[in-house]
Amino acid sequence: MSPAVNSPHVVNIEDLRRIAQQRVPKAVFDYLDGGAEAELTLLENCRAFREVIFRPRSAIAIGECTVSTRVLGHELSIPAMLAPVGYSRLMHPGGEVAAARAAGEAGTGYILSTISGHKLEDVKAGSKGPVWYQLYLLGGREAAEGALDRARRAGFSALVITVDTPVAGFRERDPRNGMTELLGTSVFAKIPYLPDLLAHPGWLASFLFDGGVPRLENVVTPGKGAMELVDIAAALADAVVTWEDLRWIREVWPGPIVVKGLLTGDDARRAVDEGAAAVVVSNHGGRQLDSVSATLRALPEVVAAVNGQVEVLMDGGVRRGSDIVKALCLGARAVLIGRAYAYGLAAAGQAGVARALQILRIDVERTLRLLGCPSVAALDRSYIGVPRSWCVP
């Protein structure tokens, strides 16, 4: 493990965030750290966890404490998987391969975004754990069918369909930092933004050595090859996924389908009716529609609506093991973590992701012991208190 992330001073995810902020250019850090518009939902996701209090059971000795769980039949060492994070290869050349490898080493799963710079076959081969593929309809159905066929043959065990991205959310930090210009081909357009890159020579050297802006290796349009990264915002605008598309996807993907990006009981029931094996309560980490509910607050409605028919996962704002425990108390089978591991990736590649997972795992076990609860499977509403203003069914 790299010394910086292994230092005794790195005790929580916020410490990894600080190291990431120093290592990568502001444009890359803000892309990772920021949210849509006024960033209200981004803040709310984290704030909601603070509003939930624990109700521990005291004077209980716990011998063995079980933090492992099962998600879609996979045994996971902790109730947290790595969420799909686009452009990971900009954060560190190891990108998606490094993150998947760290997840596998830690005994958990990784979800590969369509917006990925490494070939999906290499990502799967790099990990000992389960790997799922997250689909955007970038490049249309033909490109998607090609990717799904490759994913199936490579051994991806589930497909995640993200349904909260009819267009890309407006992340105001990105245009200010010149993200489009920096990813584009015009050297002239990059000039105003070069001081930011030059101020991070370590990152810049590794980025250039890695070949510069990567192509989207898993969005291959016949006759055109791998899509260029810069096309994304425009391509996403044409890539809305509808319930009708889900029916078509079920025909071309034989394995389990996970619908990610739901915030209401109605949409969750619809996903169940359309054949989803699991749903993810998610607002894309506050990066899409701003002012939607914090996901922790939306979780109980979805759990009640699906009534045990499918597994419910959630993401958004998870920065501590205690956050994971709170989500499980409210009915999630497991959480996905996005920024919590991406900060580690940007800080130190695979070693940083490993450190993030280690921090969260230790946190979860300590929290269970302090709560007087022997296993994550035994967590329920009785271990927490939620504010009266929350509508918890």
Ligand X SMILES: Cc1cc2nc3c(=O)[nH]c(=O)nc-3n(C[C@H](O)[C@H](O)[C@H](O)COP(=O)(O)O)c2cc1C
Among residues 177, 282, 293, 350, which is the contact residue for ligand X, using CB under 6 A?
Answer: 282
Q: Residue 30: which residues within 8 A CB-CB, separation 6 or more? A: 173, 174, 176, 177
Q: Got the DSSP string for 71-93? A: ETTEEESSSEEEPP-TTHHHH-T
Half-sphere exposure of 337 (CA within 13 A, CB side): 31
* Rounded-to-integer distance, Cα 180 and Cα 234, Å: 11
Residue 115 makes contact with ligand X by CB under 6 A: yes
Task: Find the binding residues for ligand X in span 244-263 (CB under 6 A).
Answer: 260
Residues numbered 326 to 365 that lie near ligand X (CB under 6 A) are 336-340, 342
Residue 284: active-site member: yes
Compute the distance between CA of residue 242 and CA of residue 244 in angstroms, rounded to an integer.
Answer: 5
Residue of 5, 20, 27, 85 interacting with ligand X (CB under 6 A): 85
Q: Least CB distance from residue 3 to ligand X, whole Å?
A: 26
Q: How far is the CB of 164 from ligand X (least distance, A)?
A: 8
5 binds ligand X (CB under 6 A): no
Smallest distance, Å, CB 59 to ligand X? 35
Cα–Cα distance measured from residue 147 to residue 331, given in angstroms and rounded to the nearest whole number: 33
Whether 25 and 203 have beta carbons less than 8 Å apart is answered as yes
- Which of 25, 94, 316, 331 binds ligand X (CB under 6 A)? It is 316
Q: How far is the CB of 148 from ligand X (least distance, A)?
A: 16
CA–CA separation, 282 and 299 (whole Å): 9
Q: How many residues contact ligand X, by CB under 6 A?
A: 26
Whole-number minimum distance, CB 374 to ligand X, in Å?
Answer: 27
Query: Applying CB under 6 A, does 139 fall inside the site for ligand X?
Result: no
**How distant, in Å, are the alpha carbons of 7, 20, 80, 151, 385 from that of 155?**
36, 32, 21, 6, 42
Could you tell me how far CA 6 lies from the centroid of its own chain? 23
DSSP 326: H
Considering only 24, 83, 262, 328, the residue that binds ligand X (CB under 6 A) is: 83
Active site residues: 284
Which spans of this chain sit near ligand X (rule: CB under 6 A)? 31-32, 45, 83-86, 113, 115, 134, 162, 260, 282, 284-285, 287, 315-318, 336-340, 342
